[in-house]
Structure formats: structure tokens, C-alpha cells
Amino acid sequence: MPAKKASETNLTYAQKLLLDLRNTYISDLSAQFDELEQMIFALKDKDNFTDNFQELFRKVHSMKGTAGTHGLNIITRICHQLEDQLNLVDGKVSRFSDTLFENWLKFVDLLRKALDSINSNDEKFTSIENMLETLCGNIFTGEHNVLIVEDSKYTGKLCFQALEDMPLRISIMDDGFQALELLLHSKFDMLITSMEVKTLNGIGLIAAIKMSKSPSKDLKTILLTSRDNISTSDLIKPDYILRKDVNLIQNLHKIATSSLYMI
């Protein structure tokens, strides 16, 4: 057999194998979602909360990665956002609430809707994306909307701790372009973004939203950085620049309190 023909045959076989693996994975997702739902219900057992939480986190993290290997990006994104909300609790029962419990069950419902779309070959996912956006903002409800853009889970937790005693609606993301898309279509009162985030850094994100005509164009902006000097023009200058140091929680709480309640 000519080398080219053999190569084409091997490629076809590899493609078929990958497709079979993908289809097998998809067929098993419904059962996985059922298991995920039961894990969330298990969190009601406060005596075993930490162990049940860790098992749930591992499940979501594994599902996120495996879905990505099969090109099921909508499943990966939903799991990623659920994982971000799990990170806020960090295995501590004191941070768990009925609001989070109900919201996490809605993530499972959204995963099932996404699976229905996949099985029906309708992969536009517009309605799924809209519902996901709503769930991402449902961590807390309050009079002001705050978006935190940070790809360090540790720093994200510090930001959340600085704001958790305030009546705010908080959303957390780790991707600059995805954050910009959300800001362009939704009303936020404050943006807290790290300088170093993927796809679009903090300065670029602040510049884009300030120059837009979106509902969030006049929001307060806080840039977090570990650098000593940040060069910005007047056009894209953040309202505040905060160092990522031992005083981050205290300083962020002070700024958020004073600036949000002057809006």
C-alpha cells in the first residue's frame, strides 16, 4: 500500500476512534449529571460536609477537563463557572448557604439542557449562554453588581472575602475577553480586575469598557497588580490601583464601601 494511502487510512481510523470515544462519553453524561446532583444534595449533611464537598469538587473538575478533550466546550464552560462558585466555599461549611445550594442545582439543570442541545445537533447554545450568565451572577443579590476578573484562585478568594459582608451581587471570571462580553451586555457598578489575566489584560479590559456604549461604561474600576509602576493614559486610567499585598482585603473593602455607596 502506498505511504500516502496508508496514512489516510490511519487518519480515518484515528478519527473514527475519537468520534466513538466522544459519543460514548456523551451517552454517559446523563448518568454523570445525576451523580453530580446527588453530590450536591449530600452537602446538606453538615457532619460530612468537608469530605462530600471535596468529592464534589473533584467531580466537577474532572468533568470540566474531560469534556474539553472531547470538544464539548459548553460543558467545560458550565463546569468552570460552577467550579469558581465552589472555590468561594473552599470546603468550609460556614460559607455554604441555601442560595448557593439552589444555584448549584441550577447548574446541573443547565448541564442537562446543554446535553439536550448536543444530542439534537443544535450547538449554538445562545439560550444556554444567557442562562449561564444569570447563574454566574446569582452568588449574592444586592443593590450593586460587582465583577471580579482574576485567574488566581487565591487572589479571587481574597477579593471575595473583602466584599462578602456587603449587600452585593458578585460575579467572578478568569478570562478578560469573556468578562468584556459580559460587561458589554449587562449592567455592573464595579469592575475589579487583575493586571495579569488571560486573553485580555486588566488595562485592556478597562480601556475597552470605558470606550464602549455599554450599560457598564461608567462603572468604577479597580486594577490589582503586583507591579510597582503602571503606565496608563488618562483615557484608560483605572479609578483605583491596588497592590496585591497583605493589606489587599482591608484596602479593597474600604474602597468598595466608599465608592459603591456614592454611586
Which grid coordinates belong to 31? Answer: 448518568
Residue-wise pLDDT tens digits, 183-221: 988 889 999 999 889 888 899 999 999 888 888 888 999
Do both 120 and 42 map to the same domain?
yes
Do both 147 and 82 map to the same domain?
no
Do both 157 and 214 map to the same domain?
yes
Do both 79 and 154 map to the same domain?
no
> What is the distance between the alpha carbons of residues 120 and 173, in angstroms, rounded to a whole number?
29
| Final residue of a structural domain among 97, 115, 139 | 139
CA angle 8, 10, 12 (to 5 degrees): 70
Do both 133 and 232 map to the same domain?
no
Do both 21 and 129 map to the same domain?
yes
Residue-wise pLDDT tens digits, 7-66: 555 558 777 888 888 899 999 999 999 999 999 999 999 999 999 999 999 999 999 999
Is 232 a residue whose pLDDT tops 80?
no
Do both 79 and 180 map to the same domain?
no
Coil, strand, or helix at residue 260? Answer: helix
Residue 240's DSSP bridge partners are: 222
So what's the pLDDT on residue 124?
80
Closest CA to 252 of 190, 198, 171: 190
| Final residue of a structural domain among 104, 119, 139 | 139
- The CATH number given to whatever domain includes residue 32 is 1.20.120.160
Do both 111 and 155 map to the same domain?
no
Do both 171 and 157 map to the same domain?
yes
Q: Show Cβ contacts of residue 93 under 8 Å, excluding neighbours closer than 6 positions.
A: 46, 49, 50
So what's the pLDDT on residue 182?
87
> What is the distance between the alpha carbons of residues 174 and 165, in angstroms, rounded to a whole number?
23
Is 174 a residue whose pLDDT tops 80?
yes
Its sign, for the CA torsion 163, 80, 50, 155, is negative
Residue-wise pLDDT tens digits, 75-98: 999 998 898 888 777 788 877 878
Do both 153 and 235 map to the same domain?
yes
| Final residue of a structural domain among 139, 159, 185 | 139
So what's the pLDDT on residue 29?
95
Do both 195 and 169 map to the same domain?
yes
What is the residue range of 76's domain? 1-139
**Are residues 160 and 148 in contact, defined by beta-carbon separation less than 8 angstroms?**
yes
So what's the pLDDT on residue 234?
54
Do both 134 and 174 map to the same domain?
no
pTM of the model: 0.57
Number of domains in the chain: 2
- The CATH number given to whatever domain includes residue 198 is 3.40.50.2300
